[in-house]
Structure 1
Amino acid sequence: MFIRNERSVKEFMELYPVVSILVIIHLGLWLIINALQLPFGLMIRDLGVGVNFLIAQGEYWRLITPVFLHGDLMHALFNSFSLVLFGPALEQMLGKGKFLFAYFGAAFIANVATFLFEPLGYAHLGASGAIFGLFGVYVFMISFRKHLIDEGSAQIVTTIFIIGLIMTFIRPNINIQAHIFGFIGGFLIAPLILNNVRPYSPWRRPRRTYDYDDGEIQFDPNRWQKRRLIPDKVRKNWLWIIIGVLALLGLLSRL
C-alpha cells in the first residue's frame, strides 16, 4: 500500500487530488503566515488556532480549522510527509468524499476531545489528530477487513502505530487527546466508509481502461512489472517502517 510508482508530481496530483490539495494548503498557509507574514495571513492564524477558551465562547469553527495550520516549517513538512505516506492508498480505496469524511471527522473528534479534557487556556494547531485518524482506519482494516490490506502493509502500519502511541506518552508538548481520540475517531468511522471498496492497487490509474464485463479486454501495461515488484515490496517492509517512524518522530516533535 506504500509503494510509490508515480512518474512525476503531476501524476501524483492527478491520482490523489485530495491529499495533494491538503498538502498545498498546509505549505501554502505556512508560507503566507510564517514566511511572508502577510497581514491577512496573520489574521487567518488568529482566527484558526484551536483555543479552548474561544471555543467555549462560541467560536466552534476552531474545532476544524487547526488542522490546516502549523507552528513552523518542519511541523508543516512532517505533517505533509505523513499525509503523503499514509493518505494515497485510502484516497484511492475510499474515493474523495469518504476520505474527506474520515480525515476531517477524525480531526473534529480529536479537537472536541482536546476541548473537553484540556484546560480553557489550552491552544493547539496541526493535523496530527487527522493523521492518527487515518491510522484508526488502517487498524480497523487490519482487525476486521483483512481482505483490504496485504500482510506486509499491515505489518508496517502496526509497527509505526505502536511506536507512535508509545512516543505520544513519552515526548513532551504532545496533544495526547488529539492523538488518542483522533485514532478512536478514525476507528469508529471506518465501518461507515469501508463498505463496497476495493483493495488498494499501486497500478490502478484513473484513465481509460477496458473491462472484461463490458466485452472488452483490459490491458495492464504493468502486468510484468507487478510480478517483479511484489517480492520486492515484501523485502522493503522494514525500509517503509523506518521511513514511517522518521515521519512520525518529526510529527511528534512539533505539535
Structure 2
Amino acid sequence: MIFLRYESFRSYLRLYPVTSAILAVNLVLFALLELMGGSTNTLNLIRFGAFIQFPGNPWGLEEPWRYVSSQFLHIGWEHLLFNCFSILVFAPPLEKLLGSAKYAVFYLLCGISGNVFSAFLNTGPGLSAGASGAIYGVFGAYLHLAVLRKYSLDEASRKTVYTILIFGVIYSIIVPGINIWAHIGGAVGGFALFGLFARKDKRRY
C-alpha cells in the first residue's frame, strides 16, 4: 500500500519538499485570511486571489493569475483540513514517482485544468477557491496507473484509488457548494497529463 505514511516529520520534509511547501503555503494563507477578515469573507477571498467570474469576465481571463492563486486558498476550516489531509497522504508517492520538479508543474497544471473546466462549464457569476482541482489531478494520475499501468500499483493501492474516486464523485454531487466541475477537470487533466510526465520505465511504485 503506497498511501501509508511511515516517515518522521523531518524525513517527510526532506523526501517530499514540494508537497511540504504546498501544505505550508495553504496553512500560511489560511492564517492570513483568518487574521485579515476571515476565510469565508467574499471580499477577503477576492483580495487574496480567489477565482472569480462575473458578466464582464465570464472565464476569469482578465486576471489569469487567479487560475493559480486560487489553488492555495480555502474557505473555512473544514475545507482546509480535508484538502490538506488529502495532500499529506496521497501526494507523496506521486512526488516520489515524478520527481519534485515535474510534480510541482503537474500539480499546478491540474489545478489550472480544474479551474478551466469550472470557468467554461459553470454558468453565471461565482467565486471558487481550493486545492481540490489539483488533488483530483493527483487522483487522476493514480487512476491512469491503476487502469493503464496495472503493474505499477499493488492491489490494495488500486482498490484505494477506485474507492476514493467513487466516494469523491458521490460527495461532490450530494454536498451543496462543491465545485464539481473543478473536481472533474482536475481528474481529467491529471489522467491525461500523467502519461506525459511519468517516467517510461516499468518498475512498481
TM-score for both structures, normalised by structure 1: 0.72
Distance 1:93 1:175, change over 3 A: same
Residues 1:188 and 2:173 are matched in the alignment: no
- Residue 120 of structure 1 deviates from its aligned partner by 4.0
5+ unaligned residues in a row in structure 1: which ranges? 201-255
Q: Which residue of 2 aligns with 1:236?
A: none
Mapping 1:1-255, distance limit 5 Å = 1-6=2-7, 8-34=8-34, 36-37=35-36, 45-53=46-54, 54=57, 56=60, 58-196=62-200, 198-200=203-205
Matched residues in 1 for 2:149 and 2:60: separation? 39
Aligned-partner residue type, residue 30 of structure 1: F
* RMSD over aligned Cα atoms: 1.8
Residues 165-196 of structure 1: per-residue CA shift (max 9 Å, x gap): 12211221110110111110001101101233
Task: List, as ranges, runs of 4+ consecutive aligned residues in structure 1 with deviation greater than 6 Å.
Answer: none
Q: Secondary structure at the match of 1:119?
A: coil
Q: Secondary structure at the match of 1:64?
A: helix
The structure with more radius of gyration = 1
Distance 1:44 1:121, change over 3 A: closer
Q: Is the 8 A contact 2:51 2:60 kept in 1?
A: no
- Residue 56 of structure 1 deviates from its aligned partner by 4.1
- Residue 101 of structure 1 deviates from its aligned partner by 2.2
Q: How many aligned residue pairs are there?
A: 195
Q: Is the 8 A contact 2:118 2:182 kept in 1?
A: yes
Matched residues in 1 for 2:138 and 2:123: separation? 27
Aligned-partner residue type, residue 190 of structure 1: F
Percent of residue pairs identical: 37
TM-score for both structures, normalised by structure 2: 0.88
Matched residues in 1 for 2:82 and 2:103: separation? 20
- Residue 25 of structure 1 deviates from its aligned partner by 0.5
Q: Is the 8 A contact 1:33 1:45 kept in 2?
A: no
- Residue 74 of structure 1 deviates from its aligned partner by 2.5
Residues 107-166 of structure 1: per-residue CA shift (max 9 Å, x gap): 111101111111341110001111011110000001111122111111111111111112
5+ unaligned residues in a row in structure 2: which ranges? 38-42
Q: Is the 8 A contact 1:50 1:124 kept in 2?
A: yes
Matched residues in 2 for 1:95 and 1:67: separation? 21
Q: Is the 8 A contact 1:27 1:77 kept in 2?
A: no
